[in-house]
A = this chain, B = another copy of it.
Amino acid sequence: MPVLGVFDSGFGGLTVLRALLPLVPNAHYVYLGDTARLPYGAKSQGTIARYAVEAARFLEARSADMLVIACNTATALALEDIRAAVQIPVVGVIDPGATAAHDVIRAAGISIEATHPEVLVLATAATVQSHAYLAACAQLGLKATEVACPLLVPLVEEGWTDHPVTREVIRIYLSDALTRCTPRAVVLGCTHYPLIAHEIEAALRELGCDAVVVDAARATAEATSHALGAHGPASPLAPATFECFATDSVEKFQRLGTHFLGRTMPPVTLLDLGG
């Protein structure tokens, strides 16, 4: 049974794990949330790379066969450093999200080469500032507009996932974004956003936009499943098992984690990565 290491700065990456479970049920998962040092968004590239490499080495030492960087900021700013630091394959969230946007647009019969269709990426301020989605989309012939939605993470963490205030904030962000682009696909470029995907889709329709909503967490799970498939056949009889580590705030992790994972959280072990 393969061992999959999943890393995020917090518990948002649990939405990637949630998407992985039905696709790769026969695995042992080791999840690490670096909660003591979040948010990564406000930190410099060097600091983020150092933190992410420490986390990746920890997961490799826990016998991970593959590493999923379920964190947009760490993927945007440290993917190459992580790949250089470990011996196992590493999957990030950004290329799968951009590729999924490309695929849904092509599936709608639109010629990407002829029209360079527009994609709207909703993300945190740090991910937007990195322009990692812009670069990944450009490589696929897509024109991305990246929009920071700083209030959506705190609203999800407050538990207001089905709440009139959250719907109003989404409407404000999207109505502004739609004055700047006419997207064929909207990428949820933050691991918290799958919990409000339905509200984001409803707001797009109300604003007269028929873009397909692409969940980068789900796309990452699919990319991981494909990459694992190349490593040998699955054994469908074995159920998934879990270990979960956090560097601080174990109580909050345990409480909010169930909401993100969509099932009861395993016990969360406090881990000291230093500094």
Q: Does A80 contact B (CB under 8 A)?
A: no
CA distance A35 to B36 in the complex (A): 14
A155 touches B (CB below 8 Å): yes
A43 x B36 contact (CB < 8 A): yes
A47 within 8 Å of B by Cβ?
yes
Within the complex, the shortest CB–CB distance from A129 to chain B, in Å, comes to: 9
Q: Does B157 contact A165, Cβ atoms closer than 8 Å? A: no
A165 contacts B154, C-beta separation under 8 Å: no
Q: How many residues of A contact B (CB 8 A)?
A: 25
User: Interface readout for A26-57 with B: 1 if CB under 8 Å, 0 if not?
Assistant: 00000000011011001110010000000000
Interface positions, chain A 167-185, Cβ under 8 Å from B, are: 168-169, 172
Q: Which B residues are in CB contact (< 8 Å) with A47? A: 36, 248
CB distance from A213 to the nearest CB of B (A): 23
Q: Does A23 contact B (CB under 8 A)?
A: no
A109 close to B (CB within 8 Å)? no
Given B35, B42, B157, B158, which contacts A38 in the complex, CB threshold below 8 Å?
A: B42
* Min distance, Cβ A169 to any Cβ of chain B, angstroms: 6
Bound-complex Cα distance A168 to B160 (A): 13
Q: Can you list 6 A-B pairs with a CB-CB distance of less than 8 A?
A: A36-B44, A44-B248, A164-B168, A165-B172, A168-B168, A275-B275
